Structure 1
Amino acid sequence: MGSKLLKQLQEWHEQDEYQKIVDAIKAIPKEKWDYDMISHLARAYNNLEKYQDAITLLQSIRIQGLSDPLWHFRMGYAYYYLDEIPLAMEEFEQVLKDNPDDQDAKLFFTWCQQEMEQQQYDPELYTEEEMETVERHISNYFGSYEHVFHELISPDIHVDICIIPPTPSQDYYKLVTLGMGAHQMNVPLELAEKKLERAELMICLPPDWEIQNSDEKWYWPLRWLKILARLPGEQDTWLGWGHTVPNGGPFAENTQLSGIMLLNPGAFPPEASCCVLPNGDEINFYQVIPLYEEEMQFKIEHSADELLKEFTGEQLEYVHLNRPNLHGDNEGKTLLLSPEELQPLLENWEGPDLCIASDRITVEGYEVGYCYRIAPNDKQLDSGWCFLAGDETEEYLTNQQYMSRYDLNTICNYDPDIIPLLNSAYGSAFYRDENGIFQKCIEITN
C-alpha cells in the first residue's frame, strides 16, 4: 500500500471517519489489496460494529498464512463484542505471548476473565477413572508424553493435546487430543450399536516440525485438532471414519493442503483405534489426514476407500506438506494407459515410488529417450527420477502442464526398458542411443 494512502487511512481513523476507510479500500480491486489494506479495513469494520465482516476478512488473511499480533487483537476485539468470550480470550492470549507489554490486550484479557467467571462455564469432562484409562491407552499405543498443550478456556469440553516426541522406530511427532471423548456425539440411530459416540483425534507431524512455534504454518495442526474436537458439540453432529472437513483454502502459506479426512491410525496396532472405558463405552481414535481440494472432491464423488487405494503407506504415516496431489497433476489429461491396464512390474521395488514424466510419454506414447535422477527433498516418497522423450523444448519443460507426477510402476508400464536403471545413484542420467540401448551420461548434480 502506498504511503499516501496509508497516511490518509490513518487520518480518517483518528477522525473517526471509518466509513470513508471502507469506501476507499472497497473502491480498489480486491486483487490489489495487500495485508496492510485488509488490516485497515478490518479495523474499520470493527469500529463500525460490523464484527462478523471483520472476522470474515481477517480469516481470509489467515488462510494465506498471514497473521501478527495486530491480527490477533482485531480478531479478539470482534469476538469480544460478538460475546464469543472464549474465542476472544484465546486471541488476546496470543497477543500477549508475542507482546507481553500490550496494555490494551491485557485489559481485554482481564475483561474476558471476568466474563468467564460470571458465566460459570461447566464443560463436559471425563471422570477421573475414565481419564486414567484414556491416558494409559495413549501411552501404551502411541507413546509416552511429558509435554501437554493445556487448554486455558473450556466452555464446552476441555481439550488438551498430548505431544509425543519422535522415536527411533517412529521418527515423527504424534499429537493426540485428550478430552474430546467426554462428549457423546449425535450418531445416527442406525449406527447406535457400533459405539461411535465418543472419539479422540491424532495427527502425526515430521520430526523437524516446530511444535512450539505459534506461526500459522506450524500451528495449524493444533488449531485443527481443537476445531474438530469441538465441531460435534457445536453443530450437534458426529465425526467418524472417512469423514472429511474442508478448510476453505490452504492451511498455511507453505502448503496447498486444504482439508482433512479421518482414518484409523494406520501405523499403529489395530487395538490403538479403540479404548474401552470402565463402563463399556468406547473411545474411537481417528488420525487426521490432510488432503488437497481435488482429493476431497474425488472422495465425495467416489468414496474414502477408493481414495485410499491411491495412497502409499508412507504418505499416510505422517503429514507431508508438499506431497504430490493425487488428483491435481493429471486433471483433464487422457493417458494412454488406464489404471486397469497397468501391470505390477515393480513388485520387489523397495525404494520411494514417485517420479516425474513428460506428457510426450504418457499422453502421446513416445518411449523414454532421456532420464535422470536427482536427490529430492522428500526421499521417503520421491524417487528423484524424471523421464522425458528427449525432444522436449525448454519452453515445454518449464510448463508444469506437461510435466506430471506418477508412480514409478506406471512409467515402467509405458517403457519397461527403464527398470534396470532405477537403482542408479542420485546424479545419474541416461539417454537412448540409435540402437535403442540406454547409455549413461556424465553424472549430473542438483
Structure 2
Amino acid sequence: MNRAEKVELLDQIEQWNDADEFSRCIEAIEAIPETERDYLLTVKLSRAYSNLAVLGDHGERGTDSEVDRKLIQHAIQLLETVRPQGEDDPYWNARMGYSCLMAYNSANTAYEYAKRWLALAPGDPDAQKLFRDCEEYLEEEKVMQIDLKEREKIIREETPLPTDDDILGHVKVHIDQYFGVYAQILTDHSNPEYPIEITIIPPRLEHDYYTLVTVGLSRHRMHFSEERREENLERAELLINLPPDWKLTKDALKDETWYWPIRMMLATAYFSIEDPNVCLESRATLMEGENGVPFAEGTDLRGEILFWPGPFGQDAFACRLPGGEEVNFYQVIPLYREELQYKLEHGADALLDLCSDESLEVIDPHRLNVVTDREQIGYDPAEMDNAAEQIKKIRTLHLPVDELDACNLMAFYLGWAIKRGQMSNPFLSQYREVVEAVRTGNGPDLRAFIRNRLNGKLSTQAFDRRGSGFAQWYAQNDRSNPYVYRRDCRNIALTELKDRAWRSVAEKEAAYLLLSYTEKNLQCVEQLLDERFHTYLETVFEDDPEERVARAAEGKPAVIPDWDGPLTCYASDRIAQDGCKIQLMYRVFPEREDMGWESGWAFYSGDEESIYGEGDNYYESHCGYYDIRDICRIDPDIIRFLNLPYGTSQMLGEDGAWYEVIDEDQDEEEP
C-alpha cells in the first residue's frame, strides 16, 4: 500500500466511524495482512472493535445494552501489541482509557491511562473529561466499599444471635460467615407457603464473582430414607456463582438473559419442596424441562448437578443448628447434555476428572463443553501451574513485572521440594545435575529451568509419593483446602504491598505475581511450605512407604541400581515380609497425578486368602506400598517384566513359566 492509498483508506475509515459503521472499518483494516499493518492502523482497528463492543453498528446495541466483553478485550489486546510505540502517544492512551473503562468493573485501570493522556495533552477537553469521570467513578467505588465494610461490621458485631428455633436466622449468619456479606436480597413468592429469599454477595477477594444463596428452602424437610437419617440431609439451601459483570438490577432481571440462572436455582428448590420423592444432595443431577431444553436462548446448558461448595471450604458445607440438625449447602452447576449423560454413565468423579474445579466454579453460558471440547480444553490433572496462564494474567491486568516472574511461585516450590528430598525417581534420573546443584547451593535460576526445560509447567509427577500428595493437597488449587499455596503467597505479597492502591479485585487476587524472586521471599515461602507440609503429614497423609520396610529384602544385593522409573509398587506382606515367590503380578493405570512415583505394579504370592482370610480386609492390613527395588531384590525374576505396558497381568504357571493373563473386561488404554 503506497502513501496515497493509505491516506485514502484512513479517510474512508474516519467516514465509516462517523457513520457508526464499525464492522466496515474492521473488515477493511483486517483485509490488510497483519504484518503490513502499521501502528496507526492497529490503533484504528482497536477503536473499531471498542466501538462495536459498546455501541454496535448504527447504534444497534443502544445505550443500556451490555458491553460485548470479548470484543472489548480484543480491542485492548490490539493496543497491547503496539504498547512500545503508544505509551507516549495521547491517542493511544485515550483509546486504552476508554476501552479499560468499559472492560473492567473498576475505573482504576482507566484512570491511570486518563491521567497519562492528560499529562501528554493537558489542554484536551476530552482528556479532562475522562479524567474527571474516572475520579467520580473511583469515589463511588470507595463509598460502596465503605458501605460494605460498615454493613459487615454491623453483621459481625451488632446483629444479635438468632434464637434456637430461628432456622433462617442461623442460615443467614452462616452465609455471612462462610460465603460473604450480602449486599442485596431478592424475594420470590412463587410458593406462598415457602417464600424464598436470595441473598446476593458481591465480588470480593478470593471470590471475584457474585454468589447468590437461597434462604427459605431449609424450612422444608426432604424425605430421605430411614437408613440415611444419620447423615442429616433433610434440610438444604442452594447457591450459584455468577460472573462479576453479571447484571442483577431489578430491570435487568426482567430479561431471561440475566435471570435464567436464578430461575434454574429456584426451580430446583421448589421441585424438592413440591415433590416428596425429590431429595437434594451432592452429586445429584436434574434435567430442566420435559425434553431437556436449554435454560435460555444464547446457551446450550440444559441440565444441572449439585456439589458441595468446595471453593468456600468444608466448614461452609453445612450449618449446624442448635438442636443438632444441619442445613446443607449445595452449589448448582448447569451442564450440557453430553456432560449430564457422561455423569450418568461414568459418575460425578469421572466428570470432574475432565476439567479443573475452576472451570465449573462460575456460571458461564458459553463455556466449553468438558466432554465434547475435551481436546481443546487440554486439562491435565497433574499440572500444578502453567507459566502461559500467568503470563496471560500479567498482560491482561497490566502488571508491572517481567514475564519470567510468571515462574516465581513454581521456582520457589520446586527449589523447596528439591532441598527436602521430595523428587520422583524419573525426575532425578532426567535432571540429576540440576537437583545436585540446588542441594549444594549452586543451582541455576529455577525460573529459567522451568521455562526452558519443563515447558513452563510444574507437575505433580515431578515428586515422590509424599511430595506428590502434598502438592495435590496444597499447591494444585484444592479450593476446599484452607491452605492453598497461591493464596498464601498472595497474602505474603499483600502484606509487602499494603500501601498499594489496587485497581480491581482481580488485580488484588493476582498479587502473588508481584512476589519478587528474592532471597528474602524465598526464605519466607520455604518456611511457609515447611509449616504446611507438617500440617499435611499430621492431618492427611497416611501409610508412608518409607516406613514400610520390606524385611525380606534385607541382606540381598541390589539388582536394579540404575532403575529410572517410578519407585513405588504395591505388594502383599507374603512377598515383602515373608519373602515368598511372586506368583501373580499386574500393572494398573495409576492416577495421572501419581505417575511420577507409582509404577502401577502389584505383586502377590497367590496364597494370601488362605493365610489372611477371604475378602478385601486383608488388603488394608497385609498389603501396602514398597520400594520396587526391594521387591526385585526378593524376586529378581520379575525384573524383565517391569517395562511392560499398563494393563499387563502375568501369572506364574506350575511349570515355572510366566503366562500373560487376558482380561477381556480390562481397558487397553488409559481411561
When normalised by structure 1's length, the TM-score is 0.47
Q: Which has the higher contact order (CA 8 A, sep 6+)?
A: 1
- Larger helix share, 1 or 2: 2
